[in-house]
Amino acid sequence: MGEHQLRRRPGNRVVRRRLHATNVIDLPKETETRDVPTATAHAKQFVVGVSLLIVVGALLLMLPIASESSESTHPTDAFFTAMSAASVTGLVTVDTATHWTFFGELVILVLIQLGGFGFMVGTSVILVLLGRGSSLRDTLMMQDGSPTMSLRDVTSLSRRIMRFILITEAIGAILLTAHFLQHESPLNAVWHGIFHSVSAFCNAGFDLQGGFNSVIGLSGSPLVILTIGGLVQAGALSFMVLNDVWLKRKWRDLYLDSKLVLITNFLLIIAAMMLFLIVEWNAALSRMDAEMKPLNALFQAIAARTAGFASINFNEAQPATLFLWVGLMLVGGAAGSTAGGIKLATFAILFLTVISTLRGQEEPQAFGRRITSNLVFRSLSIVALFMATHFLLSLALAITEDVFNDTSFGFAPLMFEVMSGLATVGLSTGITPELSIPGKLMLFVAMFIGRLGPITTAYALQRRQQPARFRFPEAHVRIG
């Protein structure tokens, strides 16, 4: 067989071409692939970053210079405070204003700012990466493990979010400083204005009013109540939703996600406000002037799902309010925001699923769009896991406090406290400082799971979901 005939053989031609192509491929170095912003890598970095932030913050708070007594703070209280600040929750075991020095307060503020910024950026990037699987090209790239978001995109998104955070917090700090100047020295007024503005926007709920009283002493100031409430809403609705509104400015042009978030948020605030007024008018609101009661009810309805600020004493609240607030804290804010909970869009999807089922529709629909069954299943899984975690942690806290510590807190406050930690809200009936060390550890676990659980769960569920290659025969199961 001659050389000319050998070249004409198809198999030989294919082999030679593949060998030739292999020779010119320049594989990237391993160190370069680590910088690729895939969802997997970003999720791992996000979890590690939050954990490292908590440890460093706790070690700084344990320094004698951080406490007013010039003594080292107990590790349990230091780690609890660092966890609460980094997870932007607001539950405290020691009074922020009286226990910590300026250095300690500064550490807490930095933890809040880094925790809020890191969570807003981190979740936004992960959500954008996961959401870019709509086109065939992006879907194939994600299945192949390739990035669908460049480093330039990540940097640009981070800068826009940082600019949004700083501008919003600066406006809030100016307004709050104007109020504090009436009662504080200029330096204290500026510090209080900055601290409360950052805490409010990041939905942290930390305050410098003292006595574990949150902002009860400021409940008579419309400026403070409206400013903090506005900051809480800005942080809870997420940069992605507000940016969508700012760019499009027409309801019909908004993404379905933005529409669901805005409508659900509005309806929950109005319903909570009206119910709070009815139940607490002659109870927790009884000491307020009549004209301030609606405003404070609105404030509590806003803070209920996301921030731990309280203008009333929840220890005096009716059991009906505590039960309702557990449900509101469960919902939380928007995905990609500083708020916790199962998220507004998740709640909206489940509500639409129930309505569609009652109407006999196979898939939920809203605003001329359908929501796939895959998204419904993921939403159900998130809610089921969240509620199961709340059940187990509430049971564990009841055992540590009522069985082994022999306290008389009652189950409603314990359940309220666990949901507040799990949803990273920070509202309290006042029992957090009185919990035993095992009880504080239960809330620590609740805050950690609540901060990282929903986004990592959503990510894991979406990445594990594979298209079905076959379907089993249907079988009927009796329900109801």
The pLDDT-based confidence of 368 (bands split at 50, 70, 90) is confident
Q: With a cut of 70, say whether residue 67 has pLDDT above it.
A: yes
Secondary structure of 414-446 in HEC code, one letter for each residue:
HHHHHHHHHCCCCCCCCCHHHCCHHHHHHHHHH
The pLDDT-based confidence of 121 (bands split at 50, 70, 90) is confident
Dist. CA 178–CA 12, nearest whole Å: 82
Where helices occur in 27-150 by DSSP H, the ranges are 30-33, 39-61, 75-86, 96-99, 102-131, 136-143
Q: Summarize pLDDT for 68-92 with one digit per residue, the tens.
A: 999 999 999 999 999 999 999 999 9
pLDDT at 322: 92
In this structure, which amino acid lies at residue 254? Answer: L
Tokens of 322: 């505590």
Residue 286 in domain: yes
Of the listed ranges 5-9, 116-120, 314-318, the one predicted with least confidence: 5-9
Between 337 and 137, the higher pLDDT residue: 337
Residue 440 in domain: yes
What is the percent of the chain with per-residue pLDDT over 70, rounded to a whole number? 80
Between 327 and 127, the higher pLDDT residue: 327
Residue 144 in domain: no
In this structure, which amino acid lies at residue 474? Answer: E
Residue 161 in domain: yes
DSSP 8-state secondary structure symbol assigned to residue 372: -
**Total number of domains in the chain:** 1
Query: Cα(first)–Cα(last) distance of the chain, in Å?
Result: 78
What angle separates helix 102-131 from helix 186-201, to the nearest 10 degrees?
30
| Run of H or E including 214 | none
Dist. CA 113–CA 8, nearest whole Å: 68
Q: Summarize pLDDT for 225-235 with one digit per residue, the tens.
A: 999 999 999 99
pLDDT at 140: 34
Instruction: Find the domain containing 438 and state its range.
Output: 54-130+151-464
Looking at residues 436-461, what average pLDDT do you find?
Answer: 81
10 Å CB burial of residue 86 (0-12, 13-18, 19+) is: buried
**SS3 (DSSP) at 369:** strand
Q: Are 269 and 307 in contact (CB under 8 A)?
A: no
pLDDT at 228: 96
pLDDT at 363: 85
Q: Summarize pLDDT for 212-226 with one digit per residue, the tens.
A: 999 999 999 999 999
Q: Summarize pLDDT for 395-433 with one digit per residue, the tens.
A: 999 999 988 887 778 888 999 999 999 999 999 988 999
Quick one: the chain helix, strand, coil %, rounded to 5? 70, 0, 30
Looking at residues 184-200, what average pLDDT do you find?
Answer: 95
Q: Are 341 and 330 in contact (CB under 8 A)?
A: yes
The pLDDT-based confidence of 142 (bands split at 50, 70, 90) is very low
Q: With a cut of 70, say whether residue 104 has pLDDT above it.
A: yes
What is the percent of the chain with per-residue pLDDT over 90, rounded to a whole number? 54
Place of tokens 């209080």: 192
Between 23 and 208, the higher pLDDT residue: 208
Residue 141 in domain: no
Dist. CA 9–CA 186, nearest whole Å: 88
Q: With a cut of 80, say whether residue 236 has pLDDT above it.
A: yes
Looking at residues 305-323, what average pLDDT do you find?
Answer: 90
Q: With a cut of 80, say whether residue 442 has pLDDT above it.
A: yes
Residue 345 in domain: yes
Cβ-count burial 392-424 (b if 16+ within 10 Å, e if not)? ebbebbbebbeeeeebebbeebbbbbbbbbbbb
Residues comprising the chain, all counted: 480
Residue 178 in domain: yes
Looking at residues 100-117, what average pLDDT do you find?
Answer: 93
DSSP 8-state secondary structure symbol assigned to residue 403: I
Residue 474 in domain: no
pTM of the model: 0.83
Place of tokens 């806290």: 397
The pLDDT-based confidence of 24 (bands split at 50, 70, 90) is low
Q: Summarize pLDDT for 25-44 with one digit per residue, the tens.
A: 555 554 444 444 555 565 66
Place of tokens 């939920």: 364
Nearest to 242 by CA among 265, 262, 270, 263: 262
The neighbouring-strand residues paired with 67 are 100
